[in-house]
């Protein structure tokens, strides 16, 4: 017997319809590339998203055709999120920080038909358009009359001219909720990038889950600043959860430095912000010397790479901001775990609570996880045993776009490439990427632990731990360190600093001071590149 409830497909268009009807006057604020602040409401987003849909129909784009973006977080990008997916096309957000060759490669692989880009990225588009034969329309996200003359980019139109004059009425089509809605390529640090192809269903389930109190906990009372880019994994789904909850949305545009982010937080009474640790590092770096406080910011979600304990401390103790540590990946839409305490933890002393907060957190309903050993058998949840982390759930990839890389699943589980422990309470702690694991004398050493300790030293700005070949132990850890400007610290100081914080045999064998640590397109440390720069390095203990 079937249930007798109404059968409505979970479609992205229902989010924008809902936002317009139920919190139509909810505010969306964007810092524009021009530097000024733009404000409007969900009602405006809806009207303009429908103009986008009409403009796409005007190009005779078919169902599932790809529309790409190279854009910062801003209102026009938001309109494309809803207009492209809502009308049945697939939004392909491209990370502009990738190498131009890689961008051309993925635009061809995705067979993008339209490319919408911010003016910042005109030089990039000029460099790649000749190599992108599938793109038949370029749209620059600029004000009317601001399109540059003689750009050399064929079939280029300004966004306002493109959608201006198009009807604001449009009947969103209804279709199978499993249809593709958007796509995002992984950064491809090994081999060519592969795309996660999200569906309307996966996006809506993820949007519901993300808003839950133990997940992102976004509500209509929040003013939310996604610093995490809309070009990478849909800004962690925040634009969708915002439409669902009716929170205020604040977009930072291209201005991601500490000063600009701080000023926007204060001006727009931001209560909630989300981003990767490197961005918050810049923000904290601006607050301290200028003796600034937050007047409204209460919570921040930090993920994308391990959040250093020193950062969680600084936010909580010095600024009264609760940090939610999150873990996920492109292949997971991206949320997998978030760290919130359970009722029984509330009576624990603060130091004990902190030990929990440092972990990556508990699985969200919709994500199941397990750690497995080398033979593939499941390992215990004892908080000590390390294993390869596998996940499954309705917003996790089953297969990459065009079947690239073959079947990624193992018995229905997706191997994340991360290594971690799970404790008896279900809290995951990531210790490494599997390719970064350091094996010394048959025992694993967590590079994240070593980095976190270094980062808690007041003279250290950034730290990356890598394994170096050792004749007796196979590998020994060393830590590459960027000093804070003006700070002084020696190799011996830092090695001494490790004493008592980890087991003796886990203390790195050496400290190498470097000018900078190479970062990838999503702001993560590129250890492969770091290892290349250290190829002539010899361990003092070897
Ligand atoms: P990429 O394009 O580099 O794959 P993702 O955003 O998909 O970008 O990266 C996912 C990876 O980032 C995870 O597999 C994990 O290694 C790392 N990561 C994400 N969040 C955390 C976290 N909170 N702690 C440690 N590592 C994290």
Q: pLDDT by residue (tens digit) across 262-317?
A: 999 999 999 999 999 988 989 999 999 999 999 999 999 999 988 989 999 999 99
Cα dihedral 385, 390, 391, 396 in deg (nearest 10): 150
Atom 10 in ligand 1: residue holding the nearest Cα: 329
Question: What is the whole-number distance in angstroms between the Cα of residue 414 and the centre of ligand 1?
Answer: 14
Q: Which helix (H) or strand (E) segment is 523 a member of?
A: none
> In whole angstroms, what is the distance from residue 216 CA to residue 209 CA?
8
Q: Which of 188, 182, 214 is nearest to 200 (CA)?
A: 182
DSSP 314: I
Is the CB–ligand 1 distance for residue 330 below 6 Å? Answer: yes
CATH topology of domain 436-533: GMP Synthetase; Chain A, domain 3 (3.30.300)
Angstrom CA distances, 540 to 5, 130, 466, 481, 508, stand at 70, 51, 15, 17, 11
The alpha carbon of 324 and the centre of ligand 1 are apart by a number of angstroms equal to 15
The answer to whether the CB of 357 is under 6 A from ligand 1 is no
Task: Among 278, 304, 432, say which to mutate for ligand 1: greatest number of ligand atoms within 8 Å of CB.
Answer: 304
Nearest-atom number in ligand 1 for the CA of 233 is: 6
Q: Whose CA is nearest to atom 4 of ligand 1?
A: 186
* Ligand 1 contact, 303 CB (< 6 A): yes
Reported as a single tens digit per residue, the pLDDT across 101-150 is: 999 999 999 999 999 999 999 999 999 999 999 999 999 999 999 999 99
Residue 320 to residue 427: CA distance in whole angstroms:
24
pLDDT, tens digit only, all 542 positions of the chain: 999 999 999 999 999 999 999 999 999 999 999 999 999 999 999 999 999 999 999 999 999 999 999 999 999 999 999 999 999 999 999 999 988 999 999 999 999 999 999 999 999 999 999 999 999 999 999 999 999 999 999 999 999 999 999 999 999 999 999 999 999 998 765 667 899 999 999 999 999 999 999 999 999 999 999 999 999 999 999 999 999 999 999 999 999 999 999 999 999 999 999 999 988 989 999 999 999 999 999 999 999 988 989 999 999 999 999 999 999 999 999 999 999 999 999 999 999 999 999 999 999 999 999 999 989 999 999 999 999 999 999 999 999 999 999 999 999 999 999 999 999 999 999 998 888 889 888 888 889 989 999 999 999 999 999 999 898 888 999 999 999 988 989 999 999 999 988 889 899 999 999 999 988 877 788 888 898 898 889 898 77
Q: Establish whether residue 360 lines the binding site of ligand 1, counting it when its CB lies within 6 angstroms of any ligand atom.
A: yes
Of 277, 291, 181, nearest to 227 by C-alpha is 277
Which protein residue's CA is at the shortest distance from atom 24 of ligand 1? 306
Q: Decide: residue 490, CB within 10 A, 0-12 exposed, 13-18 middle, 19+ buried.
A: exposed
- Tokens linked to 371: 């750690």
**CA of 305 relative to ligand 1 center, distance in Å:** 5
State whether residue 441 is helix, strand or coil. coil
Is 339 a pocket residue for ligand 1 (Cβ < 6 Å)?
no
Nearest ligand 1 atom to alpha carbon 448: 25
CA of 327 relative to ligand 1 center, distance in Å: 7
Q: Which is the closest atom of ligand 1 to the Cα of 187?
A: 2
Encoding tokens for residue 416?
């994340």
Catalytic positions, please?
Answer: 186, 331, 439, 444
- Which atom, in ligand 1's list, is nearest to the CA of 331? 7
CA of 329 to the centre of ligand 1 (A): 5
First-residue to last-residue Cα distance in the chain: 70
Q: Where are the domains of the chain?
A: 436-533
Distance CA 417, CA 165 (A): 49
CB distance 319 to 290 below 8 Å: no
- Ligand 1 mutation pick, 190, 277, 302, 305, max ligand atoms within 8 A of CB: 305
The alpha carbon of 37 and the centre of ligand 1 are apart by a number of angstroms equal to 32
């Amino acid at each position: 017997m079937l249930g007798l409830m109404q059968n409505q497909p979970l479609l992205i268009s229902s989010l924008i319809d809902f936002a317009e009807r139920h919190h139509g006057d909810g505010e969306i604020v964007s810092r524009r590339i021009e530097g000024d602040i733009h404000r409007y409401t969900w009602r405006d987003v809806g009207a303009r998203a429908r103009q986008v849909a009409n403009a796409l129909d005007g190009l005779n784009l078919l169902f599932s055709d790809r529309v790409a973006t190279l854009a910062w977080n801003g209102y026009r990008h938001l309109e494309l999120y809803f207009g492209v997916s809502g009308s049945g096309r697939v939004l392909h957000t491209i990370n502009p920080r990738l190498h131009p060759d890689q961008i051309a490669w993925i635009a061809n692989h995705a067979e993008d038909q339209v490319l919408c880009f911010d003016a910042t990225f005109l030089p990039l588009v000029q460099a790649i358009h000749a190599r992108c034969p599938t793109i038949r329309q370029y749209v620059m996200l600029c004000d009317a009359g601001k399109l540059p003359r003689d750009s050399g980019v064929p079939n280029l139109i300004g966004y306002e001219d493109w959608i201006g004059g198009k009807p604001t009425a449009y009947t969103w089509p209804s279709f199978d909720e499993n249809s593709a809605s958007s796509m995002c390529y992984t950064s491809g640090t090994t081999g060519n990038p592969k795309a996660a192809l999200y569906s309307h269903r996966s996006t809506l389930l993820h949007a519901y889950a993300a808003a839950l109190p133990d997940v992102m906990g976004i509500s209509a009372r929040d003013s939310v600043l996604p610093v995490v880019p809309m070009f990478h994994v849909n800004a962690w789904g925040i634009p969708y959860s915002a439409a669902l909850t009716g929170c205020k949305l604040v977009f930072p545009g291209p201005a991601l430095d500490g000063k600009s982010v701080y000023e926007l937080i204060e001006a727009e009474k931001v209560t909630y912000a989300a981003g990767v640790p490197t961005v918050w590092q810049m923000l904290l770096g601006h607050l301290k010397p200028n003796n600034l406080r937050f007047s409204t910011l209460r919570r921040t979600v930090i993920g994308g790479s391990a959040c250093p304990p020193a950062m969680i401390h600084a936010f909580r103790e010095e600024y009264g901001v609760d940090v939610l540590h999150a873990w996920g990946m492109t292949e997971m839409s991206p949320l997998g775990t978030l760290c919130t305490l359970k009722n029984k933890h509330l009576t624990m002393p603060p130091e004990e609570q902190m030990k929990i907060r440092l972990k990556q957190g508990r699985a969200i309903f919709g994500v199941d996880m397990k750690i497995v050993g080398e033979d593939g058998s499941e390992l215990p949840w004892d908080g000590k045993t390390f294993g390869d982390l596998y996940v499954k759930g309705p917003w996790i990839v089953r297969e990459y776009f065009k079947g690239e890389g073959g079947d990624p699943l193992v018995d229905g589980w997706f191997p994340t490439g991360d290594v971690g422990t799970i404790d008896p309470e279900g809290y995951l702690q990531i210790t490494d990427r599997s390719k970064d694991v350091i094996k010394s004398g048959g025992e694993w050493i967590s590079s994240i632990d070593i980095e976190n300790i270094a980062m808690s030293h007041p003279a250290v700005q950034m730290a990356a731990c890598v394994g170096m070949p050792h004749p007796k132990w196979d590998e020994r850890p060393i830590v590459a360190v960027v000093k804070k400007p003006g700070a002084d610290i020696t190799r011996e100081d830092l090695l001494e600093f490790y004493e008592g914080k980890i087991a003796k045999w886990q203390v790195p064998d050496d400290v190498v001071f470097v000018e900078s640590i190479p970062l990838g397109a999503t702001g993560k440390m590129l250890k492969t590149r770091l290892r290349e720069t250290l190829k002539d390095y010899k361990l003092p203990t070897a």
